[in-house]
Structures are given as C-alpha cells and as structure tokens.
Structure 1
C-alpha cells in the first residue's frame, strides 16, 4: 500500500486553510506546498535527490519547516540533529548516519565540521532546477531518523517510516478527536519527535500549527488566554511554569483551548489538579522515539478519575507488562503495533528492535484492573530532566576519557526545577580541580547533560561481577 504525498493531498483538500503561523506571519496549506516545491528545486540544484540521506540542523522557525517539507517532496531521509548537542556529539551522528548532505541554519554553522555543509542562506539564494516530485510514498519509506541514547551510552539512529508517523497521527486523532478549527501550539523543538509529530499531524488532519521558536511561559500563557490555539504539548517543567504565570496574573484560559498532551516522564498529580482549576485538561501520554511519539494516552473522559495514569494503548497498539500475573504488578513495558520502528541505522543497524514481535522498552510500569498504564520509572538508570532523556553511561564515558579519572558513576538527583539532574561521582588517579573536569565535559556534552555536581569518592558501589550499581549512588545524593 502507498500513501498519497501528504503535503500535496492536504493542499488539494484544504488549500486555503491556515497551515502555519509564526509571529505575525501566516501560510495556508497551498502556500506551504508551493513554497516547499520551490525549496525542493533549490535543494535539487545541490544534487539532493530521492533516497538521499540529508541531515538537518536548525532552530525552530518557518524556514526549517519549508526545508523539511521540500525533503518530503523529493523523497529524502531526514536525519534530525539536536541543536543543543556539542560538536563532538553532532560529529558522531553525522559519521554514523553517513549523511550525504548537511543542511545547516546559518546561526548554527559553527557547530558542524563537514565538507557536506549547505547553509540555509545558500539554499535560499540557489536557482531552482527541475526535480521529480514524489506523488506517492511507500508505507515503509523512511521519513525521519532521530538519535536516541541507549543504555550503552552510544546514541542510536531510529528509523521512522511513513507508516509509523501515519499510524501515530491516526491513533491520536481517534483518541482526542479533531476539528477543522484546531490549532496546535508548538513550542517543542522540531528536531524532536514531540515537535516533529505535530507537523505530521498537521498534514494528516489539516490542522494549523502555531509555532514559537522556543518555550516562553509568558507567551504560552498569552496564547491560552487569547483562544487562538486549541492544543499544546508539554512536559512537567513547562506545564508548571505556565501555571505559575497564570497564577501570577490571575488569568483565565479561553474556553477554545481543549487539551494539553503531557509527556517526557510522569507529571506530578498536583500539576494536573492545578491545571484543572483553569479548565485545562492535561492528558498524560507515554511513548518514545522508537514509537514515533505516543503509544498510550489518557482519554479526556478518564482524565479526572485516573490522574497519574498514561492511559490505555491507542487504537492500533498493544501494551503488556512482562511477567505480570495480575493487575498492579510492575514489570518491563512491552509494546506492539505499526508505530514501532523497523530498526536502527549505522553501527546499531544489526540490533534487534523487537523480540517475539514486541518492543522491549526497558521502562517499568503496571496495568491497573481496567487496563490503564501507570509508568513507574523511565528505565532504571535513565535521568529525565525537563523532558530530556539523559543516560548516565554517556556522561560516564566522557569523564572516563579524562586521564585523571579512574572510575565514574552518574545518577539522577531530585531537582525542583527540572525533576532530575545528573550527579557524578568519580574515583581519581590523580588530584584535579573539579571545575576542570566540568569544563572537560562541557566540550563534549550538551548543556542539559552536564553533571550539576561532581564528587570524589574512594570507591564506587559494585556487585559481585563488578558491575556498577547506580541505584546505590542515588542514596549518596
């Protein structure tokens, strides 16, 4: 089965409907389509063609979307690069993905060292050439590739196909409903599945997107008050900041606003209850890069009585708990459905994604007696900081590269602002200022991954096989 090109189809069905707004500018689906085709011709002038693997590094702004949609028309595989990563981290992903072209926002060009760089300014000024527009997409065609960290500390490039994105969009629509007037406020980064999935839903639903270049609690609160948006995606820390602004100004939220989808780790019950006082329905979700966003979502009718739950599986999906014999028993969450990635790329391309037809998430949760999922922990060692996933092994690997460090262990410690932040413990070979170690990490890690504390210890807790026991590190915080 093939899908019609979603942008062509949406421009045909809803040509004059608002597709995107940013600051004071607005584009219809017809205008988005024509602009994307112009950019596709410009990319073709550089040799970009069907099945080209194209890495993109950009801040969130309309031109980023024009270029992504141009890639959809050409039939490229888009490697979505995280603008917050260090040069070292980005270099790893470019090498692993073997991207033929690297399209870079001029403001970020210093982060990339590659002979394949094409700046946005160069694209903008290029003379378009003829290209073959892809009028149909195969179900298994790779649309996007996003890197997610693994427990080894080595990021894995996750393939996300047309079927993955389509099933995610349709299943979400069956859960929360859609209407022609819907507008999704997008403050999530577009390189992340939480932001990218909003664009996919826009094309599939014919839904408008109100884009902000970054999260700003004051601006988000204004949007909710004005009634110009109906949906929004949040994580715990952004929800709490919006609520604080509403509290401070004793503001009210427009009745036009319908729902917030909340992901990135468990949302405190107190936040959900505070949101209810403003008439905001916060629906907890559970998903990951390997499932192209949501797998479970709490339905509006169940939101009040199942606070803290991530809901039931969306219509096309299945969830089970490994080893659970009865409701309430916790175990590893397993997922099955058309949203699950077919695999990884690069050095992890041989890694088995599914075992016995199920994705083994490594996350711990339980199902209650009605089948509602409650996520207990985002993997045993994972640190979830402001909605960002941080694996301790990534930080440990960097610390161990310093000659003064013999052993390193990292765990999460509680933070009122971010939920959790990384804390590092090191056994030294020689004396060194801890600020020097932190500076060493800063050269190789994104800012949100930097340890917020580094402490020296005589030894690290290990089991009989000499495996580091990170769970015991948490008791040291």
Structure 2
C-alpha cells in the first residue's frame, strides 16, 4: 500500500487532521511537518528497520515523532511513561533500540536512572534536514511497524510485534462496524504509547478523520470538548468513563454530533451503563487486546440497547470460537484473524505456543457466544476463582459491588482456604465514606450467590494500575491493607 500519510495528504490536503488546544493541522500541513521531522531523524542516523524506542506523553512532538519514524521506516518501540526504572531497563535490554527518543514534556525521572543514552526530541529538531532523505514509498503488510510491551503473568513483559497489515485490517474491521466517515472526529485521550491510543492515530490516516489530541486526563477539559466541539467518538476505559461522568456538569449534554463512547479494557458495571443511558450517552463495548491490534469486536449503534453487556459479534475480518466450555457454558475465547500480532520479540516459542493446530490464537480470556453469535466477556482465565466445583468470575462480583455508594474501586481475587479458593475483596473508599465489612457482606448476601460473596474486605490506599486504568491483580498480594 502507498505510504498512508503521503496518500492521505494527497487525497485530503485541506481536511483537518489534528486538533490541539490552540491550533489545527490539515493533512497537508501535518504531512509537511512530519516530513521535516523525518528528514532530521534521517540526519541523526535512523534508517529503515532500525529499532527506535519512544518515551513520550500525548504531546504534539510525540505525535509527530510517531509518524516521522514511520516515514523513515523505523520500528517504534513504545515505552510507558508510568513504568518504574527496573521495568524500563528490562524492556530496553530486551529490545536493544538503536536510539531512545524522549519527549521534552514528559517526566523522565525513571528512565533517566538507566545507563542508556537518551535523545530529546528537541535535539532532533535542532538538526539540519538531510537533503538525501526520501519517505518510504510503501507500507508493506508484513513490515513491522511497532512493538508494545504487555504485562505477563510471570512478570517478564512481552514485546508484541505488530505489522502494517495488522493495523490496516484492524481499522477496516472497526470502520465497517461503526460506519466511520470523514465527518467523524475521534478524541484521543488514552496514552499514545499503548495500543488503544496509538491505533487512533492509524485510524485517522486510513479513514481520513480528525483527531483531538488530549494531553493527560483533564475531565473538565475533555467534557468541555465533548459538549462544545464537534467531537463524535471518544475511546475510554471503564474507570475513565466513570471519572468523566462524575465530572459532567449538571444539566449538560454532549454535542448533537456526538456518536459514542468506544469502551475497552474490561467489563463495565450496570450502574455506569444506566447513568450513560439516562444522560443520552451511547456506549459501545468492545473486546480486544494488544496481540489482536486492539479491538476484534464492538457493539454497533443498532445493537447497543438490545445487547447491552455484550462486546458484539466479531468484526467481518475476525473468526471467534469458544472452547473448553465448562458447567456454566463459559469457555476459552480463541480467534483467527489478520489482526493477530506477527510475533513476540525474542520469544517466538511462547508466541507459537499461543496457537492451536488449526491456527486459532488462544487469547487467555473466557466468555461465551449467545444464539446470535454475540460475544460476552467474563474475564481472564488466570483471574478465575475455583471454589470447589463452582467457578467465580471476579469482574461480575466487582461490578455488583460498584453500585455501593462509597466504594471508589474494588478488585476480587482468590485465596486458598483448605482444598479450595475463596474470594477476598481489595477496595478503596471515597472520601468521608464509612462502610464496614459487615455492611459489605450483608450487601453481598442479598445480591450474590453465597459462594460468590467475599470472605474478607481489605482496605488499601491505592490500586496498582496500568496507565489505562486496569488493575494489576497479581501485585495486590504485596500491598499493605486493613481488614474492615
């Protein structure tokens, strides 16, 4: 395929591509800016297929650097700005980048602790353009575009290798499902160094749509954009959606062109869905992971009401099946798709072990397909709690408890008691909330089956989370807590 940015600049040179707080860029202007930056990357010695690490927040220069690295043909290794130095060291030692680019706007305390040479984006900008530079003419389907690290159960992060073909088919599936058109404008507030945020940049090039670039999660500013501007779609996680709803001014509604909250990364509780329904905010739940280049299914507008709680039918580009079905009619989710990653960096044996003999990728998630082939997610296989002959799905229990006034967040995990597991709950409370373990146990008795009710309620100060807001369950056992 012809270079996506160059192609889009030819097709829609005057169409708004990027919207910042104080400036807009058309695709023509964006292309000119990116090509200048790319020529300076070329001057610094970066060439096609070079591994280049990028440590950046959602700033303008970071956005430009991402696109410029693609123009040179480099493989971008995305580094999470919230990770500790020890984790960053592992990822850098594993990926061995030729260069580490760091945004001037990011807090680089952790990465500066490492024994690696860092190059600020401003240092690249100070270089002279290279007259020999030419952008790559084509994006080959099999060409490696990026590497994202994702946590693994053994604490050794996995570098997920994604190609341009992965991104193209992911965009096609989402576009067919949502009916994306050039009047759409997507609000990008998720971190660009994670796949749910980065893929919005790719969708912009493929669809020809505008992107509102948000640096940080300022609920007041984001709500103002959604109320007063022509933003049509925003990608959020359930925790971020709850924050946005809590900050929405009373009596205000989003603009009349707003189409939906595109929701990913875990199950959403019924109370939050009800609030969105009362406020006239459509929520389209989706399902995907880094290894599937983000979403492989998402509710569309026609099914959002009648199939609430579902992640919808798989996209046209995807095959999904359920195997190893248990007594609850829940099984393991497996997929076959051109969006599945092309490898794990330096872990190809592990990568191949994730596939069945007939080519389906084992996601590690569990769920079921209903009679209409709509997918329902029940959680991660490794998170399930086995209480004798009963299976407890923690996210179901958590979503019931999130309706309790005073609970800020909650996570249910299993602990061994005799020859079985029992659920215990870690939670944080809102300011001035007063809840006892007896209160919470009584609530559970009235709203859950007996074996699902947590045996203990552990109050903590803060949850360990990914940048997108997902709780890191495997780190809870190391936290100090107070039993209430």
Q: Deviations over 1:41-93 (max 9, x none)?
A: 11111110000000000111111011111111110100010000011111110
Distance 2:329 2:427 in 1: 26
Unaligned runs of at least 5 residues, structure 1: 393-409, 418-437, 457-475
Identify the residue that residue 413 of structure 1 maps to in structure 2: 426
Identify the residue that residue 162 of structure 1 maps to in structure 2: 164
Aligned 8 A contact 1:381 1:411 in 2: no
Unaligned runs of at least 5 residues, structure 2: 385-393, 403-410, 414-422, 431-460
Query: What is the deviation of 1:178?
Result: 1.6
Aligned 8 A contact 2:61 2:103 in 1: no
Q: Deviations over 1:242-289 (max 9, x none)?
A: 22222x422122111001110110011221221122222100000000
SS in 2 for 1:30: helix
Identify the residue that residue 111 of structure 1 maps to in structure 2: 110
SS in 1 for 2:341: coil
Distance 1:358 1:414 in 2: 37
Aligned 8 A contact 1:269 1:307 in 2: no
- Kindly tell me the number of residue pairs found equivalent between the two proteins: 409
Q: Deviations over 1:313-359 (max 9, x none)?
A: 01110111113499x71011101110001111124565314222011
Distance 1:149 1:322 in 2: 24
Distance 2:125 2:196 in 1: 27
Q: Which aligned pairs between 1:290-439 and structure 2 lie closer than 5 A?
A: 290-324=291-325, 329-347=329-347, 351-352=351-352, 353-356=354-357, 357-381=359-383, 413-415=426-428
Structure 1 consecutive aligned stretches of length 4 or more whose deviation exceeds 6 Å: 382-386
TM-score of the pair, normalised by structure 1: 0.80
Distance 1:249 1:71 in 2: 44
Q: Deviations over 1:146-179 (max 9, x none)?
A: 0011222210000111111000101101000122
Aligned 8 A contact 2:265 2:470 in 1: no
Identify the residue that residue 66 of structure 1 maps to in structure 2: 64
The structure-2 alpha-carbon separation of the partners of 1:278 and 1:164, relative to structure 1 and needing over 3 Å to count, comes to same
The structure-2 alpha-carbon separation of the partners of 1:350 and 1:252, relative to structure 1 and needing over 3 Å to count, comes to closer
Aligned 8 A contact 2:355 2:361 in 1: yes
Distance 1:372 1:293 in 2: 18
Query: What is the deviation of 1:31?
Result: 0.9
SS in 2 for 1:365: strand
Identify the residue that residue 287 of structure 2 maps to in structure 1: 286
1:29 aligns with 2:27: yes
RMSD (CA atoms): 2.9
Identify the residue that residue 52 of structure 2 maps to in structure 1: 54
Query: What is the deviation of 1:114?
Result: 4.2
Distance 2:476 2:185 in 1: 38
Aligned 8 A contact 2:325 2:332 in 1: no
Identify the residue that residue 132 of structure 1 maps to in structure 2: 134
Aligned 8 A contact 1:343 1:349 in 2: no
Where relative contact order (Cα < 8 A, 6+ residues apart) is larger, the structure is: 1
